[in-house]
Amino acid sequence: MNRTEIENYIQDHYSAKPDYPWIKYPNYVVFRHQSNKKWFALIMDVPKNKLGLQEEDMLAVVNLKCDPILLGSLLDEKGFFPAYHMSKANWITVALDGSVADDKIKMLLDMSYEMTAPEIRRIS
Protein backbone atom coordinates (compact mmCIF):
# COMPACT_ATOMS: atom_id res chain seq x y z
CA MET A 1 0.00 0.00 0.00
CA ASN A 2 1.48 3.33 -1.00
CA ARG A 3 0.68 6.82 0.22
CA THR A 4 -2.06 7.54 -2.32
CA GLU A 5 -3.71 4.17 -1.78
CA ILE A 6 -3.85 4.54 2.00
CA GLU A 7 -5.18 8.10 1.79
CA ASN A 8 -7.93 6.97 -0.60
CA TYR A 9 -8.71 3.93 1.56
CA ILE A 10 -9.05 6.05 4.71
CA GLN A 11 -11.33 8.55 2.99
CA ASP A 12 -13.52 5.81 1.48
CA HIS A 13 -13.61 3.41 4.43
CA TYR A 14 -13.85 5.85 7.36
CA SER A 15 -15.31 8.90 5.58
CA ALA A 16 -12.49 10.93 7.12
CA LYS A 17 -11.26 14.09 5.45
CA PRO A 18 -7.54 14.83 5.14
CA ASP A 19 -6.23 17.66 7.31
CA TYR A 20 -2.96 19.46 6.55
CA PRO A 21 -2.23 21.19 9.88
CA TRP A 22 1.35 22.37 9.26
CA ILE A 23 2.32 24.98 6.71
CA LYS A 24 5.96 23.96 7.13
CA TYR A 25 5.11 20.33 6.25
CA PRO A 26 2.50 20.49 3.48
CA ASN A 27 2.74 16.75 2.74
CA TYR A 28 1.95 15.70 6.34
CA VAL A 29 -1.67 14.53 6.40
CA VAL A 30 -3.70 13.92 9.56
CA PHE A 31 -6.89 11.87 9.63
CA ARG A 32 -9.09 12.30 12.67
CA HIS A 33 -12.52 11.49 14.03
CA GLN A 34 -14.98 14.27 13.32
CA SER A 35 -16.72 13.99 16.69
CA ASN A 36 -13.77 14.12 19.10
CA LYS A 37 -11.05 15.38 16.72
CA LYS A 38 -8.64 12.64 17.88
CA TRP A 39 -6.10 11.52 15.32
CA PHE A 40 -6.09 7.93 14.14
CA ALA A 41 -3.56 8.27 11.30
CA LEU A 42 -0.72 10.61 10.39
CA ILE A 43 0.82 10.13 6.94
CA MET A 44 4.16 11.78 6.19
CA ASP A 45 7.46 11.49 4.36
CA VAL A 46 10.43 11.21 6.72
CA PRO A 47 14.16 10.74 6.16
CA LYS A 48 15.01 7.05 6.48
CA ASN A 49 17.92 7.85 8.79
CA LYS A 50 15.41 9.29 11.32
CA LEU A 51 13.94 5.78 11.53
CA GLY A 52 17.29 4.13 12.16
CA LEU A 53 17.97 3.13 8.56
CA GLN A 54 21.27 3.80 6.83
CA GLU A 55 19.88 5.61 3.78
CA GLU A 56 19.13 9.33 3.76
CA ASP A 57 16.31 9.42 1.20
CA MET A 58 12.68 9.89 2.17
CA LEU A 59 10.19 7.17 3.11
CA ALA A 60 6.40 7.50 3.13
CA VAL A 61 5.05 6.26 6.47
CA VAL A 62 1.88 6.24 8.52
CA ASN A 63 1.73 6.60 12.30
CA LEU A 64 -1.04 4.54 13.88
CA LYS A 65 -2.22 4.10 17.45
CA CYS A 66 -1.54 0.52 18.47
CA ASP A 67 -2.22 -1.83 21.34
CA PRO A 68 0.96 -1.79 23.47
CA ILE A 69 0.80 -5.58 23.72
CA LEU A 70 1.15 -5.83 19.93
CA LEU A 71 3.85 -3.17 19.57
CA GLY A 72 6.80 -5.33 20.60
CA SER A 73 6.12 -8.10 18.11
CA LEU A 74 5.45 -5.65 15.27
CA LEU A 75 8.77 -3.90 15.84
CA ASP A 76 10.50 -7.21 15.10
CA GLU A 77 8.97 -7.24 11.62
CA LYS A 78 10.24 -5.49 8.50
CA GLY A 79 8.53 -2.18 7.78
CA PHE A 80 7.70 -1.28 11.39
CA PHE A 81 9.49 1.36 13.47
CA PRO A 82 9.11 3.03 16.87
CA ALA A 83 6.69 5.92 16.43
CA TYR A 84 8.22 8.95 14.75
CA HIS A 85 7.42 12.09 16.82
CA MET A 86 4.63 10.34 18.77
CA SER A 87 4.39 8.36 21.98
CA LYS A 88 6.40 5.21 21.39
CA ALA A 89 4.31 3.42 24.03
CA ASN A 90 1.05 3.76 22.08
CA TRP A 91 1.92 4.53 18.46
CA ILE A 92 3.85 2.78 15.71
CA THR A 93 5.30 3.96 12.40
CA VAL A 94 4.55 1.76 9.39
CA ALA A 95 6.44 2.02 6.08
CA LEU A 96 4.31 2.58 2.99
CA ASP A 97 6.82 1.02 0.60
CA GLY A 98 5.24 -2.40 0.07
CA SER A 99 7.20 -4.06 2.89
CA VAL A 100 4.02 -4.47 4.98
CA ALA A 101 1.03 -6.35 3.56
CA ASP A 102 -2.03 -4.24 2.74
CA ASP A 103 -4.25 -6.44 4.93
CA LYS A 104 -1.99 -5.88 7.93
CA ILE A 105 -2.02 -2.10 7.38
CA LYS A 106 -5.83 -2.16 7.13
CA MET A 107 -6.09 -4.20 10.33
CA LEU A 108 -3.83 -1.72 12.14
CA LEU A 109 -5.86 1.19 10.74
CA ASP A 110 -9.02 -0.42 12.13
CA MET A 111 -7.32 -0.81 15.51
CA SER A 112 -6.14 2.80 15.53
CA TYR A 113 -9.58 4.03 14.51
CA GLU A 114 -11.27 2.04 17.27
CA MET A 115 -8.72 3.01 19.94
CA THR A 116 -9.23 6.71 19.23
CA ALA A 117 -13.01 6.61 18.75
CA PRO A 118 -15.23 8.52 21.16
CA GLU A 119 -16.33 6.53 24.18
CA ILE A 120 -19.98 5.59 24.20
CA ARG A 121 -21.74 6.89 27.28
CA ARG A 122 -23.96 4.42 28.98
CA ILE A 123 -27.11 5.48 30.76
CA SER A 124 -27.64 3.49 33.95
The pLDDT tens digits for 14-57 are: 999 999 999 999 999 999 999 899 999 999 999 998 888 898 89
pLDDT of residue 123: 56
Q: Give domain status of residue 78, yes or no.
A: yes
The pLDDT tens digits for 46-56 are: 999 888 889 88
* Number of domains comprising the chain: 1
- What's the CATH code of the domain at 8? 3.90.1150.30
pTM above 0.75, yes or no: yes
What's the domain range around 47? Answer: 3-116
Q: Give domain status of residue 122, yes or no.
A: no
| pLDDT average, residue stretch 87-91 | 90
CB atoms within 10 A of CB 91: 21
Q: Give domain status of residue 71, yes or no.
A: yes
Cβ atoms of 42 and 25 within 8 Å: the answer is no
| Phi-psi domain of 23 (left: phi exceeds 0; alpha: psi -120 through 50; beta: other) | alpha
Q: Give domain status of residue 123, yes or no.
A: no
